[in-house]
């Protein structure tokens, strides 16, 4: 992980402070074959999970939490 940062586009949602973000890698035979970004964002006073398209920055709502969630970490090998 070189920690490179590149601007890709806007989320398309008005996210507040205390956001969390993680990237999930799909690995097949020791090689990464796909990556998905996920973020916990506060939008309109609700804490929601978003899938982030890494190439465009677009956020897609995947559901809401019933309480405050400000970070996310996805374990490997989840399906």
What lies within 8 Å, CB to CB, of 10 at 6+ separation is 57, 58
**pLDDT, tens only, 26-79:** 888 889 898 899 999 999 989 999 999 988 999 999 999 999 998 889 887 666
Ranges of each domain in the chain: 1-70
> Could you tell me if residue 45 is left (phi over 0), alpha (psi between -120 and 50 degrees) or otherwise beta?
left
pTM of this structure: 0.80
């Amino acid at each position: 992980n070189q920690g490179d940062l590149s601007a890709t586009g806007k989320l398309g949602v008005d996210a507040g402070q205390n956001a969390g973000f993680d990237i999930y890698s799909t690995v097949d035979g020791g090689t990464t074959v796909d990556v998905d970004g996920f973020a916990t964002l506060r939008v309109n006073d609700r804490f929601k999970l978003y899938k982030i398209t890494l190439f465009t920055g677009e956020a897609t709502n995947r559901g809401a939490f019933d309480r405050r969630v400000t970070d996310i970490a996805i374990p490997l090998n989840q399906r």
